[in-house]
Amino acid sequence: MRTEEPRTIRLKDYRAPDFRISKIDLDFVLDPEATRVAATMKVRRTGNKSASLTLSGEQLKLLALRIDGKDLPENSYRTDAETLIVDSVPDEFVLDIFTEIAPASNTSLEGLYLSKGIFCTQCEAEGFRRMTYYLDRPDNLAVFTTRIEAGKTKYPVLLSNGNLVRSGELPEGRHFALWSDPFPKPCYLFALVAGDLGYIEDEFATMSGRKVALRIYVEHGNEPKALYAMDSLKRAMRWDEEKYGREYDLDIFMIVAVSAFNFGAMENKGLNIFNDKVLLASPETATDEDYARIEGVVAHEYFHNWTGDRITCRDWFQLSLKEGLTVFRDASFSADMRSAGVKRIEDVKFLRMRQFQEDAGPLAHPVQPQSYITIDNFYTATVYEKGAEVIGMLKTLVGNDGYRKATDLYFARHDGQAVTIEEWVKCFEDACGRDLGQFRLWYRQAGTPTVEAIGAYDAGTRKYALTLKQTVPPTPDQQEKRPMQIPVRLGLVGRSGGALPLTLEGENAIGPEERVLELTGAEQRFVFVDVEEEPLLSIGRRFSAPVHFNAPMAAADRAALMSRDGDPFNRWEAGQALATDVLLEMADTAKSGIAPRPDPIYVDAIADVLAHAAEDHAFAAEMLVPPSEGELALKMSPADPVAIHDARTALIRGIAEKHREPFEVLYRNLDSGDPFTPDAASAGRRRLRNVCLRYVSAEDTDASARIAEAHYRSATNMTDMIAGLAALSRMDWPERETAFTDFHDRFAGDPLVLDKWMGLQAGSPLPGTVAQVRALMKHPAFDMKNPNRVRALVGAFSANHLRFHEADGTGYALVGETLRDLDPINPQVAARMAAALENWRRYDDARQAQMRAELEWILKRPGLSTNLFEVATKMLG
């Protein structure tokens, strides 16, 4: 049990620092057990005359301190576990700090650590303080130079931010490199890499004609697997010039892929560091999903160069300033590279699964949080994905031209600064002449609003009156909520399928076929005139706001929208809404012990999807996948994992049975036999064929197992292999074992591929999955110290809705135990994985009690990290 309560940091307490460090020269003498760090800083007092200099530092051995070249006597400064305080310092001085650190025993992967023998750093959010004492806060911008010294054989490559100034040989087989970054930056963007790495190289000519060298460093042998990332990088660089007018600024841009990394990747200035999972790809080892992810993350980190690095955050409460905006930018890029409609569907699915769940539970917080214990816990779906939705709404409200004017103003006004979300919004007000007072609530109010839409048609007057009501639910710390400004994009669809013009009462000209209403009050009425027939309401097109759109509608009307809505996103949405209604009813039936049967309205509506599948493979694939078990659980109270699973399985079997022939024909015809290319069209074709596999093997009989095995055996790329294995993972037939063994033996040397093998087993609905996961935790490829391994196995298991919520509590025990074991090794990752339990109040009493017990047990652990303490306490709170 913790003895002292960790401190809560609040936005309202923000104060500018009393000192500024404008320049820092770092010198690293690398050694796995004892790295020496010498830091020389130019310090100037900018605030309170009598303030002591307080710097942050953790897990440091302080060797010496000098002010203006003179050693400081020990009685003139103090240190504790988190700070260094020096009293009575001059107004301007040079501070030298000499520290020693032990990268080899750093398992938290914050600060300087070793990943497979490669030195690398992770400084966001507060890792820099694990190398030296510093003003480790994003509002201190300094110019960095970095000298790195190490043994040449083991560490031939020495990298840091900026441009290489000099490098050379030293006695005793050692060498050095000196890097200089001319752009002032906060220390969270600092990076250092040293190791034996191979690389690929390319060049980019910027819009003003400057040549930029591009390098991606990987483990030797992996060079070809970095080519797709390089291609993505060049496309992202061009896109940012064309769409945002942003040009790259240094002479070189480098990416390094490492195997041990807490997140996806990191936007360090000029030296991005990537988790190898989101960088390496080849047709034999990566799925289409991996390719798309790599393209998106490479773009995301590159885009941070302007939205994050050149303009950074004043404090960590402004995190969404860079993250929400950069996610919005990478999503727009992916939409331009691939199918915009399908990308939007994928993003909304993710938002609903992760962010809506977070927003409805004990960890709910606004896009701009007001307090935290550790900022690491706020790299959340709310800050990232809801933050991106907020930017999307701004763009909808001010239009494309207004958006470009506002972002141009933002870059011009704030380049080189550490700013706030408020300053970002102000740019929109100034550039577009709008008052966004109410809009700001999107940053401050947590909780997912519900927009209820009731339409009434009067055939006599040919008017359609639409009443929109909004409610924002109470969330922890925020009981009272005010109405938000919600852009509602909508259309009216005629019974025969045509779009009806949207003319509001009082307008002279005939209105457009789609428009955006601004809902600002708790309830508002919009009257459309000259509506020639009773329309079907298509509301929330392209998901115009991160809300629950609630428009009651007959099943037959939803089925009509599924095939006729002019907006593809809402065709998909209508299908999801109908499937959800059908599945929830089936789950209710299943609960009472009766075999559930699907509503024929939905099953029949699938015929139209199949008939039009050739028009857009990827879109058809999305239309054919009913909401996941996890998504359904968010809509059922209490959620019943077994009933939900049985209902969904029965629905898929019902659809398969009804449309057997078209599924078989599609499945056969989509097999092109062409060699693999990662482009969107080929990926879409594979995706649809693999969804068809789900249906043609739906019965899970021995014949199904043979189909799935044949699919696996004939696959020529990882996407298809995984689809075959995923089908087999549901089936208790010998083919399953044979195929999994075959896969294991083929990829035994490739941890990233074995992760997929582990994940599929952890996601199996078969009984015995808990035991299987426990067995896999003893597999030689499993490593508690590598976050990718833990996420692939235990993370995948906690997303297995049926087996994680096993009635006997063994699933919870497995995850609870893992969290307790992982916490002392890597608290950041442990705290993130604890989100598996955030929903505990949504289940029946018995399951609630078991999950609660796991959380209580976590809190009793001696030496618990503040990371896990914060999330577990809030979950129980």
Contact partner, 122, from ligand 0A1, Zn ion, none, Cβ < 5-8 Å per class: ligand 0A1
Q: Does 107 bind ligand 0A1 (CB under 6 A)?
A: no
Q: Among Zn ion, ligand 0A1, none, what binds residue 573 when CB lies within 5 to 8 Å by partner kind? A: none
Residues 378 and 383: their CA atoms lie apart, in Å, by: 7
Which residues are paired to 451 by β-bridges? 470, 549
Q: Taking the complex as a whole, how short is the minimal distance between the CB of residue 273 and ligand 0A1, in angstroms?
A: 9
Q: Given the complex with ligand 0A1, which of 311 and 705 has the nearer CB atom? A: 311
Question: CA torsion 655→659→662→664, rounded to 10°?
Answer: 70
864 contacts: CB under 8 Å, gap ≥ 6: 1, 2, 823, 858
Task: Give the angle 265-271-275 at the CA atoms, nearest 5°.
Answer: 25
Interface pick for ligand 0A1 out of 265, 294, 553, 698 (rule CB under 6 A): 265
In SS3 terms, 357-380 reads as HHHCCCCCCCCCCCEECCHHHHCC
Handedness of CA 257, 261, 262, 266 (dihedral sign): negative
Q: In the complex with ligand 0A1, which residue's Cβ is closer, 266 or 486? A: 266
CA 54 to CA 136: how far, in whole Å?
A: 10
C-alpha distance across the termini of the chain, in Å: 17
Is residue 256 within the footprint of ligand 0A1 (CB under 6 A)?
no
Pairwise CA distance, residues 763 & 383, whole Å: 28
Nearer to Zn ion, 323 or 573 (CB): 323
Measured from the CB of residue 300, what is the shortest distance to Zn ion in angstroms? 6
Identify the residue among 25, 96, 124, 806 touching ligand 0A1 (CB under 6 A).
124
By the 8 A CB rule, do 719 and 679 touch? no
Q: List the strands of the sheet with 252-258, edge to edge.
A: 198-205, 211-218, 252-258, 271-275, 265-266
Residue 263 binds: one of Zn ion, ligand 0A1, none (C-beta under 5 to 8 A by kind):
ligand 0A1
Residues 664-723 that bind ligand 0A1 (CB under 6 A): none
Q: Are strands 118-122 and 111-115 parallel, antiparallel or unpaired?
A: antiparallel
* CA 200 vs CA 44, 213, 261, 268, 807: distances in Å: 42, 11, 21, 19, 51
Q: Calculate the CA 62 to chain-centre distance.
A: 37
Q: What is the DSSP letter of 510?
A: P
Of 714, 716, 607, 701, whose CA–CA distance to 662 is shortest?
607
Residue 559 or 871 having the CB closest to ligand 0A1? 871
> Given the complex with ligand 0A1, which of 263 and 333 has the nearer CB atom?
263
Least distance between Zn ion and beta carbon 263 (Å): 9
DSSP state of 63: E
For the bound state, the minimum distance from the C-beta of residue 123 to ligand 0A1, rounded and expressed in Å, comes to 8
Could you say whether residue 56 binds ligand 0A1 (CB under 6 A)? no
x-or-dash string of contact with ligand 0A1, 591-630, rule CB under 6 A: ----------------------------------------
Q: Which stretch binds ligand 0A1 (CB under 6 A): 39-47, 257-265, 495-503, 583-591?
A: 257-265
Task: Measure the CA–CA gap between 36 and 64, rounded to whole angstroms.
Answer: 11
CB of 227 to ligand 0A1, least distance (A): 22
Q: How far is the CB of 301 from ligand 0A1 (least distance, A)?
A: 6
- Closest separation between CB of residue 258 and Zn ion, Å? 17
Q: Which of 669, 671, 724 is nearest to 693 (CA)?
A: 724
| Residue 267 lies near ligand 0A1 (rule: CB under 6 A) | yes
Rg (CA), the chain: 28
In the structure encoding, which two tokens stand for residue 777, read together? 């935790």
| Token pair belonging to 137 | 């806060």
Footprint (CB under 6 A) of ligand 0A1, residues 447-486: none
Beta carbons within 8 Å of 23's beta carbon, 6+ residues apart: 41, 42, 142, 143
Instruction: Give residues 324-383 in contact with Zn ion (rule: CB under 5 A).
Output: 326
Q: Which of 606, 643, 612, 641 is nearest to 625 (CA)?
A: 606
* Closest CB 108 distance from ligand 0A1, rounded Å: 10
Query: For residue 248, which amino acid is it?
Result: Y
Task: Please choose, out of 259-267, 425-433, 669-677, 805-813, the segment that lies near ligand 0A1 by the rule CB under 6 A.
Answer: 259-267
Output 253 or 619, the one with its CB closest to ligand 0A1.
253
How many residues bind Zn ion, per CB under 5 A? 2
**What residue ranges in 206-360 does DSSP mark as E strands?**
211-218, 252-258, 265-266, 271-275, 312-313
What's at 575, amino acid-wise? G
Site mask, ligand 0A1, residues 289-308, x = CB under 6 A? -----------xx-------
> To the nearest whole angstrom, how small is the minimum distance from the Cβ of residue 539 to Zn ion?
31
Of 139 and 149, the one with the shorter C-beta distance to ligand 0A1 is 139
Min dist. Cβ of residue 80 to ligand 0A1 (A): 23
DSSP, residue by residue, 245-274: -----SSEEEEEEES--SSSEE--TTEEEE
Binding-residue pattern over the window 564 to 583 for ligand 0A1, x denoting contact by CB under 6 A:
--------------------
122 binds ligand 0A1 (CB under 6 A): yes
Contact region with ligand 0A1 (CB under 6 A), list: 165-173, 260-268, 504-512, 674-682: 260-268
Q: How far is the CB of 278 from ligand 0A1 (least distance, A)?
A: 10
Task: Please state, in angstroms and rounded to a whole number, the distance separating the CA atoms of residues 483 and 138.
Answer: 33
- The one segment of 64-72, 97-105, 287-295, 317-325 that binds Zn ion by CB under 5 A: 317-325
Q: Does residue 323 belong to the site contacting ligand 0A1 (CB under 6 A)?
A: yes
Active-site residue, 219 included:
no
Residue 12 Cβ, how far from Zn ion at the closest point, in Å? 26
Q: Residue 4: CB partners within 8 Å, gap ≥ 6?
A: none
Q: What does 445 interact with, of ligand 0A1, Zn ion, none (CB < 5 to 8 A by kind)?
A: none
Q: Which two tokens stand for residue 254?
A: 């480098």
Stretch that binds ligand 0A1, among 26-34, 256-264, 357-365, 604-612 (CB under 6 A): 256-264
CA distance 251 to 199: 17
Give the residue nearest to ligand 0A1 (CB): 263
Q: Which does 266 bind (CB under 5 to 8 A by kind): Zn ion, ligand 0A1, none?
A: ligand 0A1
- Kindly tell me which residue out of 14, 379, 676, 857 binds ligand 0A1, with binding defined by CB under 6 A: 379
With contact defined as beta carbons under 8 Å apart, do 422 and 429 qualify? no
Residue 254: phi and psi, rounded to 5, are -125, 145
Catalytic pick among 219, 267, 301, 358: 301
Q: Whole-angstrom Cα distance, residue 655 to residue 276?
A: 39
6 binds ligand 0A1 (CB under 6 A): no
- Rounded to an integer, what distance in angstroms lies between the CA atom of residue 217 and that of residue 197? 6
What share of residues in the chain are helix, strand, coil (percent, to 5)? Answer: 45, 20, 35
- 263 touches ligand 0A1 by CB under 6 A: yes
Name the nearest CA neighbour of 226 among 197, 246, 247. 197
Closer by beta carbon to ligand 0A1, 321 or else 754:
321
The partner in contact with residue 376, picked from ligand 0A1, Zn ion, none with C-beta cut-offs of 5 to 8 angstroms by kind, is ligand 0A1
For residue 418, the partner it binds in Zn ion, ligand 0A1, none, with Cβ less than 5 to 8 A by kind, is: none
- 279 backbone dihedrals φ, ψ, rounded to 5°: -130, -40
Residue from the set 181, 290, 359, 376 that interacts with ligand 0A1 by CB under 6 A: 376
Q: Is 264 in the site for ligand 0A1 (CB under 6 A)?
A: yes
**How near is the Cβ of 183 to ligand 0A1 at its closest, in Å?**
17
Which residues would be at the binding site for ligand 0A1 (CB under 6 A)? 122, 124-125, 262-267, 300-301, 323, 376, 379, 828
Which residues would be at the binding site for Zn ion (CB under 5 A)? 323, 326
Instruction: Give the catalytic positions in this structure.
Output: 301
